[in-house]
Amino acid sequence: MIYTILVTLLAAALHIIPAPQQVTPGEGSFQIKSQTTVSCADAPEIADMLACKLSEATGYQIRSARSGGRIMLTLNSKLALGCEGYRLVVTPKGVSMVASEKAGLFYAMQTFLQLLPPEVESTSGAKRAEWTAPCVEITDAPRFRWRGLMLDACRHFISVEDVKRYIDVMASCKLNVLHWHLTDDQGWRIEIKKYPRLTEVGAWRKDFDGAVDGGYYSQDEIRDVVKYAAERHVTIVPEIEVPGHEVAAICSYPELSCEGVQVNPSYTWGVRNVVLCPGNEKVFEFLEDVFDEVTGLFPGEWVHIGGDECMKDKWEVCPKCQARIEAEGFVTDSLHTAEERLQSYTIRRVEKMLARHGKRVIGWDEILEGGLSGEAGVMSWRGEKGGIAAARMHHYVVMTPSHEGLYFDSYQGDNKVEPIGFGRYITLEKVYGYDPVPAVLAGEGLGEYVLGVQGNVWTEYIYDTWHRDYRIFPRAFALAEIAWSAPEKKDWDSFRARVDDACMRLDERGVNYHIPLPEQPGGSCDNLVFTDSVVVAFKTTRPVRMVYTLDGSEPTASSAAYEKPIVCREDTDIRIRSVMPYGKMSSVRTVKVRKQELAPAVEAPAEPGFSFKKTYGRFLSTSELAGATEWEESRISSLEEMGEQEPKTNTMQDVRFYGAVAEGYINIPEDGVWRFSSLCDEVWVDGKLLIDNGTDVKRYSRHDAEAALKAGYHSIKVVFLSNIIGGWPSARNKTTISYIHTL
């Protein structure tokens, strides 16, 4: 026990992520100088990579050689640490890295780089007086074979440059699988030469606002990225969706669907009932042709075929699908419907296609429905249930449950202040606390079937590189540690200290990351009101220093430190931000605190309900309503009716869009300050604009505001636009207004 604590403390002092299995401290340090040489007879490419890395950072001309270097890399087949294990010894006289295979040498190099100052990640010659690494002996090997990160390039395209950047950071923390999500309803991203329309048509979509979103990877670009990844011991697993999430393909070739009619590319998120037709033999010819080309581009063992969220209502009425069901003898029973068995049939046929190329199928846990085929692997995303079921059938499993912390499109803090996200609340600590081997599998002796663990970066609500980085990091470092390190080596306090060093290295790489923002306990709000005085408190999701100003100036590291709640007795703008131990600061939160008299109530309205008017059109902002000339006027009994003026569809792409205004009164039950929240575009109370959601993505309310009101009736005006911004249809929201009495 004492030894484990000492190892953990030493790993924290050394800032290594993921934590190594065994660490023995030495005395002194090794210094890199201008004449330092890196040598390796067995893997000269790794020696070259290290020499190049050190040269770029230090400005020295570090040479690589076959032998005789003070930094020596050696392959030794007798080292019993597996294909990715290594032994690293740093002394004042030199550095020795030994492994049984090249992957192990590569990871020894990554650990050595983490022993050096963070500026080693600079590519422009960082200015330092000394480049030293502490003396230490490390013996290390991974817990899992599959240590993955999934990038969704379909909802929003990711450039080749960015993909390579993620590969670099993955490799630095010993993640070794990049799951590349290449096809979906919103975009087909991989060139298939036999079917050029997949990228001519399927790679591009026109969003609600008229902007064109798209892009694709040529086969030459794919080969380049695969080679780049392989040099860093990262295997790329492509995902080609079958049989659902195929709108982009069906836009390009309508005959692949049951109905065979032209459809539009999806510019909303969610699931559509536009899927492949497994009753049509030409669909399997198409898939065979696609996988013939795909398998030639990706040399890895696994190909991901999706298999998730496939709506089957079209199959239920499709003559070809029903004929296939009858011919194959599929029947509905207590376990599966005939259509679920048809999906399983489709997956099995794809599995055979891939097997001819020496590949293995892996898919989302829905591929269990209808019966799991062959030797397919399962990615368990809807919790752990699917993974447990698959392991009990002796199938390999990659654990990636969304609500357990492995979906990185989720919020890391209060959604009132964080950039828009998909949902959920997944902190760094939650990711770090996850164990990929469920206790029930460990108890049954089936842990060996857990191939590994993966974090997923779905990009529906990730619109650019800054935002994508912000979601991934530093949670990817927690993922790396639960994927590599033994459970007994995990220590949250130690990890939290090491994350700071890892983030400094991201700064050197020019990679963005999440810094905990100042939040208000019980829910954040940027527009506060008081009648006498108010106490404003702040917290962060993990311990971070906060600084603030009250004079309107931008807070700096030397501004007043937040140590206790702030008491406001007059109009105040609290500008507050977090400061990391190494000086990096978060964005600034401005909380406007205003003193108000209680606004008087008015007489009860003559009639209940709200006056209402609407006008049809595709409006992006409320200012555009001024140009509308045709309005329909009526009266509604509740504000909820504002969003119920047109029938809703699953995709919300082909409905009639409109703008609407409702005016009436709300009854405030008691005197006091009331906090209002709404997903409508504007909320006016007593003739004053209280909430302005502008052109934000209105999936979550992020512009709450307060008002001081006397008990009784107060006028209210609500403006609602049925539109789609950032892929989210506002008509899915409730148009009611919530307001609570603040304490």
Catalytic residue set: 184, 245, 309
* Bridge partners (DSSP) listed for residue 591: 574
**Structural element, H or E, at residue 611:** strand 610-616
Question: Phi/psi class of residue 8: alpha, beta or left (left: φ > 0; alpha: ψ in -120 to 50)?
Answer: alpha
Q: In whole angstroms, what separates CA 512 from the centre of its chain? A: 14
Paired sense of beta strands 95-99 and 738-741, if any: unpaired
The answer to whether 238 and 180 are in contact (CB under 8 A) is yes
Alpha-carbon Rg for the chain, nearest whole angstrom, is 29
Residues in the chain: 743
The beta-carbon contacts of 648-654 under 8 Å, at least 24 apart in sequence, are 648/731, 648/732, 650/270, 650/271, 650/272, 650/273, 651/266, 651/268, 651/270, 651/272, 652/268, 652/724, 652/729, 652/731, 652/732, 653/264, 653/266, 653/267, 653/268, 653/724, 654/264
Please choose, from the candidates 47, 116, 115, the residue with its C-alpha nearest in 3D space to the C-alpha of residue 75: 47
Instruction: Give the number of other Cβ atoms within 10 Å of residue 464's Cβ.
Output: 11
Distances (CA, A) of 630 to 39, 55, 209, 621, 647: 78, 69, 22, 17, 21
Q: In whole angstroms, what separates CA 349 from the centre of its chain? A: 31
Q: What is the maximum span of the chain, computed from C-alpha positions, in angstroms?
A: 95
Cα 204 to Cα 187: distance, rounded to the nearest angstrom: 6
The answer to whether 54 and 33 are in contact (CB under 8 A) is no
Q: Is the dihedral of CA 434, 460, 269, 321 positive or negative?
A: negative
Q: Verify cis geometry, omega within 30 degrees of 0, for the bond prior to 600.
A: no
Cα 694 to Cα 680: distance, rounded to the nearest angstrom: 9
Angle at 145 between CA 110 and CA 149, to 5 degrees: 70
Which burial class, exposed, middle or buried, applies to 623 when counting CB atoms under 10 A from its CB (0-12, 13-18, 19+)?
A: exposed
Q: In whole angstroms, what separates CA 387 from the centre of its chain? A: 21
Cα 510 to Cα 513: distance, rounded to the nearest angstrom: 10
Cα 56 to Cα 47: distance, rounded to the nearest angstrom: 14
The answer to whether 694 and 681 are in contact (CB under 8 A) is yes
Distances (CA, A) of 141 to 87, 145, 214: 9, 10, 40
The answer to whether 387 and 365 are in contact (CB under 8 A) is yes
Amino acid of residue 686: D
Which burial class, exposed, middle or buried, applies to 488 when counting CB atoms under 10 A from its CB (0-12, 13-18, 19+)?
A: exposed
The answer to whether 386 and 407 are in contact (CB under 8 A) is no
DSSP 3-state assignment of 542? coil
Q: Is the dihedral of CA 697, 699, 700, 706 positive or negative?
A: positive
The answer to whether 306 and 244 are in contact (CB under 8 A) is yes
The answer to whether 102 and 75 are in contact (CB under 8 A) is yes
Cα 131 to Cα 393: distance, rounded to the nearest angstrom: 52
Cα 203 to Cα 187: distance, rounded to the nearest angstrom: 5
**Structural element, H or E, at residue 635:** strand 632-636
* Bridge partners (DSSP) listed for residue 675: 706, 740
DSSP3 helix / strand / coil % (the chain, rounded to 5): 30, 25, 45
State the residue for tokens 């030894």: 3
Q: Is the dihedral of CA 698, 704, 707, 711 positive or negative?
A: positive
